[in-house]
Each structure stands twice: as C-alpha cells, then as structure tokens.
Amino acid sequence: QVQLVESGGGLVQAGGSLRLSCAASQRTYSVRYMGWFRQAPGKEREFVASIARTGDTGYYADSVKGRFTISKDNAKNTMYLQMNSLKPEDTAVYYCATSQRGILSSVRFERTYDNWGQGTQVTVSS
C-alpha cells in the first residue's frame, strides 16, 4: 500500500501560519480525492479540507474556510495544507488521507478514505 507521510507540524502562536505536507511513497493514479482531517484531544476526528487528484478546487470545513488552503503537486506526489491566521482551537493532530472510491458528496466523511498517514501535531498557543 502507498505510504502517506505528513510533515510540517509544530508549535506556533495564534495568528501565525504553518504549511503541512503529505508525501506519497509513489504515484497514485487510482486516487480520486485527497484530504486533510484533524483530531483534537478528547474529540472525534473531523474533516478539514479535500481536493480532487485531477482538479484544483478545494473543499473546506466552515471552521477553516478563508484561512486554510489545500493544494497539490502531482509531479511530486505531495499534497499541502497552508494554514494561516491560526487559532488555539486549530490545535490537533492533522492527518492526510486518500480515497480511491470517493465522490464529491462524500469527501467530508472519514469512511470515504482508505489510506491514512500517521499524523502530525499542530499546537497553537494563545
């Protein structure tokens, strides 16, 4: 199975920025959608953003819309999440994931994704 490896997490002050990366171990032509999810302590994992492998339109959770931007570089087998204007409530472990069978209406759901990275911690201090 293709391995997904996240990087770029860390500690940042509120209002700051971070850029997360998700590198796939090989090219994945069978992937339809790629996404970012996050899980805060004591909470369920939630959708953050998604993008189609063959498109450039991002889909976002309301909580991050206007602050986060999802993008990808298919040539590098890498997906990114640019996070600006970070808030303490953005603190979580961020996971990237890919889906081979997803459709647009399902990209916000965890069950749509069949391959996951190990996660990277993002901590936003107030």
Q: How many CB atoms lie within 10 A of CB 93?
A: 18
Residues 6+ apart with CB under 8 A from 111: none
User: What pLDDT score does 22 carry?
Assistant: 97
Q: How many CB atoms lie within 10 A of CB 86?
A: 22
The answer to whether the beta carbons of residues 121 and 93 sit under 8 Å apart is yes
CA angle 19, 39, 66 (to 5 degrees): 45
Helix, strand, coil shares, percent, the chain, to 5: 10, 50, 45
Task: Please tell me the distance from the alpha carbon of residue 109 to that of residue 3, in angstroms, as a whole number.
Answer: 21
Task: Please tell me the distance from the alpha carbon of residue 30 to that of residue 111, in angstroms, as a whole number.
Answer: 17
User: What pLDDT score does 93 carry?
Assistant: 98
User: What pLDDT score does 28 carry?
Assistant: 77
User: What pLDDT score does 47 carry?
Assistant: 98
Residues of the chain under the 50 pLDDT cut: none
User: What pLDDT score does 100 carry?
Assistant: 93
pLDDT (tens digit per residue) in 92-123: 999 999 999 888 889 999 999 999 999 999 99
